[in-house]
Amino acid sequence: MHGETKCLRESSCLRCLRGERRRGRLVTPFLLLLLTGAGCGSRKTEEPAKTAEPVPPPPIAKPSYEGINVTNGGAISGVVRFTGTKPKLQPRPVTKNSEICGHGAKPAVDFLLGPDGGVQNVVVIIEGIKSGKKMTPSTPVLDQIKCDYVPHVQSVTLGSTLEIRNSDDLLHNVHGKLDGRITIFNLAMPLKGQSIPKQLTKPGVIHLQCDAGHTWMSGYIVVVEHPYHTTTGNRGTFALADVPPGSYRVKAWHERFGTLEQEVSVAPGSESRISFDYQTP
Ligand SMILES: [Cu+2]
């Protein structure tokens, strides 16, 4: 029955066999032999039966960053300042749910200046670093407290799972858009104490807004492809540790004043200090 096995692998012969069955006849060994010899055997030489080519798995994107053991790393630290005339700040009128969100207007949050001129909420990133300390899982939190996003700005490592909370006893609808255009999450959160995990799998700047009518709510999550990032506190300072020796481009990003960049060299076991100065546009 070798010929039968071979023949049944051929789709054209399966059609033949089905045709025979439609005519109400059992396929006899004689007929199979005939099919093997005539209908299927037009080849002059025996060829191994073809089997379906296995479908190759989709290519795995080469990771842009490699985690290694950093044994002789240095550090990059410094401060982000604002020089020039302090811009006019726009308060944010509360137009809904003032019993929880607050009465009147909330202070501006898009430009926070510390006592020494340090700028808060600036994300500092080593641009394009390809290898360094390992990416350890983190669990960043985004809370909604009295109708504000807390923290207002944060940087997270790609692949982290963000815990999105609602600490208010009212409905928020947190809408995150990557680069201001692509919806990454759009979550109705009606319950106080509610928490929703959301893994962040695309790098870029996610802008947060509330689609439940709290138009003054705004925030940012900067998703970075490697672990060398941080966000300045109220004194505008930053520090990045365990940096492999080498030359790097360091970027500072602020939601209102944009991006500044500069080159820095890191020597083994030493600290390189830099500063960024935003100026009045
Ligand atoms: Cu809201």
Distance (angstroms) between ligand 1 centre and the Cα of 182 equals 20
Distance (angstroms) between ligand 1 centre and the Cα of 100 equals 11
Residue 169 falls within a domain, yes or no?
yes
Distance (angstroms) between ligand 1 centre and the Cα of 97 equals 9
Q: Say if residue 105 is in the same domain as residue 32.
A: no
Structure tokens belonging to residue 27? 């396929």
**For the chain, how many structural domains are there in total?**
2
Distance (angstroms) between ligand 1 centre and the Cα of 215 equals 8
| 37 DSSP assignment | I
Residue 176 falls within a domain, yes or no?
yes
Distance (angstroms) between ligand 1 centre and the Cα of 14 equals 63
Q: Say if residue 29 is in the same domain as residue 119.
A: no
Distance (angstroms) between ligand 1 centre and the Cα of 149 equals 9
Distance (angstroms) between ligand 1 centre and the Cα of 219 equals 12
Beta-carbon neighbours within 5 Å of ion ligand 1: 172, 210, 212, 214
Residues listed for the chain: 281
Q: What does DSSP say about strands 229-231 and 194-199: parallel, antiparallel, or unpaired?
A: unpaired
Phi-psi region for residue 76, left (φ > 0), alpha (ψ -120 to 50) or beta?
beta
Helix (H, G, I), strand (E, B) or coil at 30: helix
Distance (angstroms) between ligand 1 centre and the Cα of 190 equals 9
Q: Say if residue 167 is in the same domain as residue 251.
A: yes
Residue 106 falls within a domain, yes or no?
yes
Distance (angstroms) between ligand 1 centre and the Cα of 265 equals 44
Q: Say if residue 113 is in the same domain as residue 162.
A: yes
* pLDDT given at position 86: 87
Q: Nearest 5 degrees, angle CA 231-CA 276-CA 230?
A: 15
* pLDDT given at position 51: 53
Q: Say if residue 27 is in the same domain as residue 120.
A: no
Range of the domain at 137: 66-279
pLDDT tens, N- to C-terminus, the chain (281 residues): 333 333 333 333 333 333 333 333 333 333 333 333 333 333 434 444 455 566 655 454 456 899 999 999 999 999 999 998 888 899 999 999 999 999 999 999 999 999 889 999 999 999 999 999 999 878 899 999 999 999 999 999 999 999 999 999 999 999 999 998 999 999 999 999 999 999 999 999 999 999 999 999 999 999 999 999 999 999 999 999 999 999 999 999 999 999 999 999 999 999 999 999 999 77
Residue 61 falls within a domain, yes or no?
no
Structure tokens belonging to residue 33? 């032999």
All residues at 6 or more sequence positions from 228 whose CB lies less than 8 Å from its CB, including other chains = 125, 126, 129, 132, 133, 240, 243
Q: Say if residue 7 is in the same domain as residue 129.
A: no
SS3 for 245-275 is CEEEEEEEEECCCEEEEEEEEECCCCEEEEE
Helix (H, G, I), strand (E, B) or coil at 17: helix
Q: Say if residue 27 is in the same domain as residue 147.
A: no
Residue 60 falls within a domain, yes or no?
no
Q: Say if residue 27 is in the same domain as residue 112.
A: no
- Going from the C-alpha of 89 to that of each of 36, 219, 227, 274, the distances in angstroms are 87, 16, 33, 28
* pLDDT given at position 69: 96
Distance (angstroms) between ligand 1 centre and the Cα of 277 equals 34
**Cis peptide bond prior to 151, omega within 30° of 0:** yes
Q: Say if residue 21 is in the same domain as residue 94.
A: no
Distance (angstroms) between ligand 1 centre and the Cα of 60 equals 39
Please give the Cα distance from 189 to 161 (Å, whole number): 18
Q: Say if residue 27 is in the same domain as residue 166.
A: no
Residue 237 falls within a domain, yes or no?
yes
Distance (angstroms) between ligand 1 centre and the Cα of 213 equals 6
* pLDDT given at position 84: 84
Distance (angstroms) between ligand 1 centre and the Cα of 209 equals 8
Helix (H, G, I), strand (E, B) or coil at 211: coil
Q: Which residue has the tokens 């700028």?
A: 119
Distance (angstroms) between ligand 1 centre and the Cα of 221 equals 17
Distance (angstroms) between ligand 1 centre and the Cα of 233 equals 25
* CA 10 to chain centroid: 47
Q: Say if residue 268 is in the same domain as residue 165.
A: yes
Q: Say if residue 180 is in the same domain as residue 275.
A: yes
* pLDDT given at position 180: 86
State the CATH number of the domain containing residue 83.
Answer: 2.60.40.420
Residue 226 falls within a domain, yes or no?
yes
pTM of the model: 0.77
Distance (angstroms) between ligand 1 centre and the Cα of 144 equals 8
What count of other Cβ atoms lies within 10 Å of the Cβ of residue 161? 14
Distance (angstroms) between ligand 1 centre and the Cα of 167 equals 11
Distance (angstroms) between ligand 1 centre and the Cα of 151 equals 15
| 239 DSSP assignment | E
Residue 50 falls within a domain, yes or no?
no
